[in-house]
């Protein structure tokens, strides 16, 4: 690891850390790529090219191997190159929490089926492969984490904790299944509790909902307690001088010890049952909680400036990188989709310095021009992207 990027981090006192690295990537019929392959150097690469030629598509392909879904919310069939039968993405990795491995994902448009393999062995459940490629994607679109509805921040929290903690992933899957079943039972009543048997059909799913929800809430609270001071410190280091805070806001009031969480949720679901029947949906639980971001005691979503909201979004992504690094013992890939386009050079340098303070892992940066590469990343190999083709510079 003797690149100028790592050398600069070491000179600045940052540790050289274990990190996940993509050694090679192959795309077939993914977005605008007919077929493309790229071998990565240890420190990563800087993708250069005009907008619309495939830089973001390549970052999306790498991120796809983390969750097996589009980072931009696209359906699998919309990721297939126009007119082709499906797509295939393959990466050779080193430094993954699971060791060196080959991970591949493919989608067949005709059957609408997805196939994922790890070291050439097809997995029967996607959850067995999720997180094998830990990565954090930074982009200007991240401002939706702050400006968007509470569901945006819940998804951010759920994805991050599911990647960091398999126990959370399993609880989240059980919770969503039980929630869907309870809501289906509520809708079947059509707004009327006809008899005790009908209500029992709703209540039948509440123990599973409460048990899984208790695990989720306990782990969420632990993360929020740890992340809140780090969030404030990060924004201060970026240059935000006002008072900021991060907290987890429950859909139902009251403080409950972790040991009593499941019992509290059961009681809450029972108390809300008649109300939920009238509305046809479950109104209380982890699926309605929110990550609350405040600025001087007011909602950042409503009262923050454009610059403050962008800084807060970057701070959330930095918390994601910190969380994955701490949980997995390896620095995740940093996928940077021109995230500093609307920030001044000083703030960009501060952010990169903070990212590097724990040891800078592999970076894949996408920017239009070579002069857009931040000074701290000028040692990255440059790769020209033009109409779905890749040409590494010497």
Does position 7 have pLDDT exceeding 70, yes or no? no
Residue 54 lies in a domain: yes
* pLDDT at 302 exceeding the cut of 50: yes
Average pLDDT of 143-159?
A: 95
* Domain match, 58 and 124 both: yes
Reply yes or no on whether the pLDDT at 394 is more than 80. no
**Between β-strands 363-367 and 244-249, what pairing exists: parallel, antiparallel or unpaired?**
unpaired
The helix/strand/coil state of 324 is: helix
Q: Are residues 247 and 290 in the same domain?
A: yes
Confidence class of residue 287 from pLDDT cuts 50, 70 and 90?
very high
Q: Are residues 38 and 89 in the same domain?
A: yes
Q: Are 9 and 106 found together in one domain?
A: yes
Q: What is the pLDDT of residues 314-344, one digit of tens each?
A: 999 999 999 999 999 999 999 999 887 777 7
* Per-residue pLDDT at 374: 85
Decide if 141 is inside a domain: no
Query: Whole-angstrom Cα distance, residue 371 to residue 257?
Result: 53
For range 371-393, the mean pLDDT: 92
Tell me what percent of the residues of the chain surpass a pLDDT of 90. Answer: 74
Judge whether 321 lies within some domain. no
Please tell me the distance from the alpha carbon of residue 358 to that of residue 319, in angstroms, as a whole number: 12
Residue 129 within any structural domain of the chain: yes
Of the two residues 287 and 17, the one the predictor is more confident about is: 287
Regarding whether 293 and 154 lie in a shared domain, the answer is yes
6 has a pLDDT exceeding 50? no
Would the pLDDT of 161 be above 80? yes
Task: Examine the fold and report which residue of 250, 276, 300 is the final residue of a domain before the chain moves on.
Answer: 300
DSSP state of 394: -
Can you point out the beta strands (E) in the chain?
21-30, 33-39, 44-48, 86-94, 101-108, 113-118, 121-122, 135-138, 244-249, 290-295, 298-299, 333-337, 363-367, 381-386, 389-392
On the question of pLDDT at 125 being above 70, the answer is: yes
Domain, as residue range, for 295:
150-300
Q: What is the mean pLDDT of residues 25-41?
A: 97
User: Per the domain annotation, does 68 fall within a domain?
Assistant: yes
Report if residue 145 sits inside a domain: no
For residue 390, list its beta bridge partners: 385
**176 in the same domain as 78:** no
On the question of pLDDT at 129 being above 50, the answer is yes
Is there a domain that residue 10 lies in? yes
317 part of a folded domain: no
Ordered DSSP codes for 59-119: HHHHHHHHHSS-TT---GGGGBPTT-SEEEEEEEEES-TT-SEEEEEEEETTTTEEEEEET
Q: In the β-sheet with 33-39, what is the strand arrangement from edge to edge? A: 33-39, 21-30, 86-94, 101-108, 113-118, 121-122
- CATH code for position 294: 1.20.1050.90
Residue finishing a domain among 280, 300, 320: 300
Q: Are residue 207 and residue 241 in the same domain, yes or no?
A: yes
The verdict on 256 and 349 lying in the same domain is no
Compute the average pLDDT of residues 376-392: 93
Using 50, 70 and 90 to split pLDDT, how confident is the model at 354? confident
Domain count, the chain: 2
Q: At what angle do helices 206-238 and 345-356 cross, to 10 degrees?
A: 120
Distance of alpha carbon 110 from alpha carbon 106, whole angstroms: 12
Q: Are 363 and 135 in contact, with CB atoms under 8 Å apart?
A: no
* Separation CA 213–CA 223 (nearest Å): 15
Q: Both 116 and 157 in a single domain? A: no
What does the pLDDT read at residue 10?
Answer: 33
Would you say residue 8 has pLDDT above 50?
no
The CATH number covering residue 374 comes to 3.40.50.300
Residue 190 neighbours by CB distance under 10 Å: 9
232 and 167 belong to one structural domain: yes
pLDDT, tens digit (0-9, with 9 covering 90-100), for 165-206: 999 999 999 999 999 999 999 999 987 776 777 788 899 999
> Beta partners for 101?
93
Q: 115 and 231 share a domain?
A: no
pLDDT at 13 over 50: no
- For residues 261 and 119, state if they share a domain: no
What is the structure's pLDDT at 9? 39
């Amino acid at each position: 690891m003797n690149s100028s990027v790592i050398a600069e981090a070491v000179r600045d006192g940052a540790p050289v850390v274990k990190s996940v690295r993509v050694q090679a990537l192959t795309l077939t019929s993914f977005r605008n790529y007919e077929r493309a392959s790229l071998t990565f150097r240890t420190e990563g690469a800087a993708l250069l090219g005009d907008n619309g030629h495939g830089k973001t598509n390549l970052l999306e392909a790498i991120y796809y191997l983390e969750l097996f879904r589009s980072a931009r919310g696209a359906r699998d069939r919309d990721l297939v190159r126009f007119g082709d039968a499906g797509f295939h993405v393959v990466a050779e990795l080193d430094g993954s929490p699971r060791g060196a491995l080959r991970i591949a994902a493919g989608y067949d448009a005709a059957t609408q089926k997805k196939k994922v393999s790890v070291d050439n062995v097809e997995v029967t459940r996607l959850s067995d492969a999720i997180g094998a490629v830990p990565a954090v994607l930074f982009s200007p679109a991240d401002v939706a984490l702050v400006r968007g509805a509470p569901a945006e921040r819940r998804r951010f929290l759920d994805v991050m904790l599911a990647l960091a903690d398999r126990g959370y992933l399993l609880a989240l899957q059980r919770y969503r299944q039980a929630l869907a079943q309870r809501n289906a039972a509520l809708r079947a009543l059509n707004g009327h509790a006809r008899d005790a048997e009908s209500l029992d059909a709703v209540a039948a799913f509440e123990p599973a909902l409460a048990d899984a929800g208790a695990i989720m809430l306990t782990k969420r609270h632990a993360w929020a307690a740890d992340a809140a001071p780090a969030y404030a410190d990060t924004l201060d280091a970026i240059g935000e001088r006002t008072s900021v805070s991060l907290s987890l806001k429950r859909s139902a009031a009251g403080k409950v010890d972790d040991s009593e969480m499941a019992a509290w949720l059961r009681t809450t679901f029972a108390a809300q049952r008649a109300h939920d029947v009238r509305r046809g949906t479950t109104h209380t639980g982890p699926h309605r909680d929110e990550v609350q971001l405040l600025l001087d005691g007011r909602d950042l979503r409503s009262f923050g400036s454009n610059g403050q909201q962008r800084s807060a979004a970057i701070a959330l992504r930095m918390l994601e990188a910190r969380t994955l690094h701490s949980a997995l013992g390896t620095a995740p890939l940093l996928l940077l989709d021109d995230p500093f386009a609307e920030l001044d050079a000083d703030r960009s340098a501060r952010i990169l310095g903070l990212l590097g303070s724990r040891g800078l892992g592999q970076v894949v940066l996408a920017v239009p021009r070579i002069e857009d590469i931040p000074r701290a990343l000028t040692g990255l190999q440059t790769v020209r992207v033009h109409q779905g083709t890749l040409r590494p510079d010497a």
